[in-house]
Amino acid sequence: MVDQVSQITIFKTEFTVKPDTQYLMNNRPVAIITGASRGIGRAVAIALAGEGYDIAAIARSTDSEGMENLGPEVEKRGAEFFPIGMDISCTSCHKEVVSNILERYGRIDILINNAGVAPLQRNDVLNMTEESYERVMNINLKGPVFFAQKIAKEMIWLKQQITDYKPVIVFMTSVSSVLSSTNRAEYCVSKAGLSMASTVFADRLSGEGILVFEVRPGVILTDMTAKIKDKYDKLISEGLVPQKRWGLPEDIGKAVASIARGDWNFSTGMVFEISGGLNIHKL
């Protein structure tokens, strides 16, 4: 069951908090994860719940099943779970979503900008359509950039309100930001743009005391790669990935948890490639 709030959805489930609960200036840190219902986003949400973060999980409104499955996993780790339905490309929705989170918790400590899609159909770059390009770029690049912009402005304000506040923004990109795939060029271009966005935000926000990192997954076993699993099974067995296995969403979750713990507080702008060695250049 859902309640409509403008163009966003607040999922009402048995594991959401009672509406009369007050969270203003909550003492627990709060994480926002986009694309949270499945795959990498789900693993990150669970990992951060285990690190003591309450979780504001954002996913498309159509994925209530994914949210229902994620909620208990977050709650059994002692964290609150606030599931919100929103398409990240709906930039006009960002303000209302952030307002809902701040009204509930009074703070935002870390943003994991994870939402992303692959092209609906893999086409040679010479046959790539404008419709596919625009869809992928709006979801993978435009939406995350402007959502980070909105969150960053709130974090600057929150630094004046909360003692010992250490805000962080993480951009979830891909090895496709630096590795070419000619049959999904729009995806590669979107992730390359997001890599630069991470750098630009890290540069701009360093003086504001907001850390920004890029996490760059490799070949990860998720719904997105399920359709091409046989292809990558063969490539991995032939040595594509030096560590000779698929990456798992939990591998990414562990990396983000390390960032959230403050293990890299003197490393803003850092790229963390979690790819089993795909970054190794060799003859």
| The amino acid at 226 | A
Q: How much is the average pLDDT of 218-234?
A: 89
Higher pLDDT pick, 18 / 92: 92
Query: What is the predicted pLDDT for the residue at 225?
Result: 82
What digits encode the pLDDT tens for the residues 25-38?
568 999 999 999 99
152-209 confidence digits (pLDDT tens): 999 999 999 999 999 999 999 999 999 999 999 999 999 999 999 999 999 999 999 9
Q: What domains sit in the chain, N to C, each tagged with a CATH number?
A: 2-272 (3.40.50.720)
Report the pLDDT value the prediction gives residue 21, as an integer from 0 to 100: 42
Share of the chain above pLDDT 70, in %: 91
Q: Sorting pLDDT into bands at 50, 70 and 90, what band is 223? A: confident
**How many whole angstroms separate alpha carbon 15 and alpha carbon 36?**
16
Residue 217 vs residues 42, 49, 153, 274: alpha-carbon distances, Å: 14, 21, 27, 5
User: What is the tens place of the pLDDT at every residue in 90-131?
Assistant: 999 999 999 999 999 999 999 999 999 999 999 999 999 999
Polymer length of the chain: 283
